[in-house]
Every structure is written in structure tokens, then in C-alpha cells.
Amino acid sequence: MQKKKRFLYVLLTGFVFLFGALFYIYFWLARPEGSGSAGPMVPAEPFERVWSERKVLLLGLGDSITAGFGMEAPYGYVARLAQNPEDEFPDMQGKCLTRVLPNLSVLNIAVSGSTSIHHVTHIEEKLPIQPDDVFGLVVFTTGGNDLIKNYGQTKPREGAMYGATLEEAQPWIAAYEKRLDEMVLAIQAKFPGGCHIFLADIYDPTDGVGDAASAMLPHWPDGLKILERYNKAIRECAERHGFVDHVPMHAAFLGHGTHCTQFWRKNYRRDDPSYWFSSNLEDPNIRGFDAIRRVFLLKICEVQEAYAVFQ
């Protein structure tokens, strides 16, 4: 009888440890990417008519998100905005800009690894002044690398702020606010025929938790506070300039980061509890790029419906 009790105790203990290990692996270490389409539904109605016969340049500016780092050419979000790939998801067939802007051309000068400091130079040196009859549709991601560069391996500084305190970052945040205004005005000056800029905010791979350790990164107590100040600067820039609109990439990605499987979290996505980031954490995976394409496209449709900006 004593041996039987001991056996049952060992068996139960082993089961508890196994269950605990599996629980930890799935809810803290697993990064299920899911399959199929990702992100919000895009209505078909805006794509049932031509928006404009004007010449329109779809211009990609910014960092690796807009550059499409790690993706084959048809699957970056800029490419998918312009044209559906051959294996497009059924719900997105015909929902692309060439459908409604038949005289669309594409130029993507985004550079992987670049910061907002670099983007000032890119606009000045890489973007030529456009002809008077060209309207600019500009998609722009900037500022994310300002925050994460060097991941705390060097002392925080402007353009490589990882590990900074909020107090330390205040002058760099102020400089970013000023730089945003300078950049959007510089872009506008390159389009004498007019332009509209769609400026995305910065996503948070920790799903609003702020624990850098979940991504095997050094602790950063003020990371979320600084991220929020950067995103506030982006929203306020859009509010100041009538030709700029804020694209809510941050909100779209909450629940698809390092805590995507944790159902008790505020930002848990019951409909799609999947990971939208690549192995480098900085960039989206293929489903993440699909979602970004949709978020940009929804905002472009919203602005076109409200203001007919391409007329």
C-alpha cells in the first residue's frame, strides 16, 4: 500500500510539473503565427469606382517597415497597397490602389535600419521634385529605430535611445516633434502638384505590458512612456497639418506581440491570438505586413471619402 501511495505521489508530481512546463512554454515562450489573412476587413465599396485619372505617385518613406525588410517583393505593405499579389486572399481581391488610381506609379525610398534623423536627409537627397501634374500619396513610418537602436548596448543618445529615462529623453522627444514638422513640410515642397501624407505611429511588441524581458531584451523601465510620447508627437503632427493623417498601426498590433497567447491580458485578441512580428522583433512577419497594408488602406479610403483628395 505504501509503495502504491508513493507511486501515485510521484505520478501526480510528474503530471503537475509537466502541466506547468507546458503551460509556461505555451503562454510565455510560444509565438504562434497563425495562417491566412490578418488585420481588419476592408470594404469593397470604395474600389467599385475610379477615384481619379490624375498621375499619382505612391511614395514609400521611412524605415524597414516601409522598405519591406525580409519580405519578397510582392508582400511588403507598399507593394500590396499598389497591386494585389497573384495569391491574394479572397477578401482582398480587387482592393488595391491601381484599381482606383489607374495612373499610379510607385517609388519606395525607405531604408532599413534608418532613424528619423536619417529620414530628413533621405527626403532632401533621395526624393526629387515631382512634376506639377503629379499628386503624391505618401506612406511613412519613422521613429521606431530612434527608440530601439543598440538595445541598450551603448549609452542612450538621440537616435539610439534604448534604456533612456523619460527625463533624459525629453530633449530628444522635443527634437523629434520638430523634425516631424520639418519632414512633412519638406515632403510637401517636393510635390508642387499636391500631396497627402499617411504617417503611421509606432507599434509595441510587448502588447502594452512593457516588459522588454519577454523579448529577451534588457530591462527598460521608461520604454513605454517614451514610446507613448513619440506616438503622441505623431498624432499631434497630423493634427497640425491638413495634408497629414495618422495611421493607427500601434493599436492594430496590440495583442499580436510577445504576449499574444495570454488570454488574461487586456489586449488579448480572441479572434486571432497570433504573433505578427518576425524573428528580429523589429519588423512584421508576412501576416503583419498584410495587416499594415489593410490599416493604411482603410485610412486612405477614409480620407478619400471625406475629402476626395486625389481629384
Q: How many percent of the chain have pLDDT more than 90?
A: 84
Q: Does the pLDDT of residue 228 top 70, yes or no?
A: yes
Cβ 63 vs Cβ 113: under 8 Å: yes
- Domains delineated in the chain: 31-307 (3.40.50.1110)
Q: How confident is the model at residue 18 (pLDDT cuts 50, 70, 90)?
A: very low
Digit-coded pLDDT (tens) for 42-75 = 999 999 999 999 999 999 999 999 999 999 989 9
Cα–Cα dist 166/218, whole Å? 16
pTM, two decimals, is: 0.93
* Grid coordinates given for 265: 491580458
Q: What is the largest CA-CA distance in the chain?
A: 93
Q: pLDDT at residue 279 above 90?
A: no
pLDDT of residue 10: 52
65-115 pLDDT, tens digit per residue, is 999 999 998 999 999 999 999 999 999 999 999 999 999 999 999 999 999
Please tell me the predicted confidence (pLDDT) of residue 227: 98
d(CA 193, CA 132): 4
56 DSSP β-pair partners: 104, 135
- Are 276 and 18 in contact by the 8 Å Cβ rule? The answer is no
* Of the candidate ranges 10-24, 60-74, 111-125, the one whose mean pLDDT is the lowest: 10-24
pLDDT for 30 equals 78
Computed over every residue of the chain, the mean pLDDT equals: 92
Q: DSSP class of residue 203?
A: -
* Angle at 297 (CA atoms; ends 293, 298), nearest 5 degrees: 120
Q: Which residues contact 127 (CB under 8 A, 6 or more apart)?
A: 59, 61, 109, 187, 190
pLDDT of residue 214: 85
Of 51, 46, 44, give the one whose Cα is nearest residue 309.
Answer: 51
Q: What is the DSSP letter of 271?
A: T
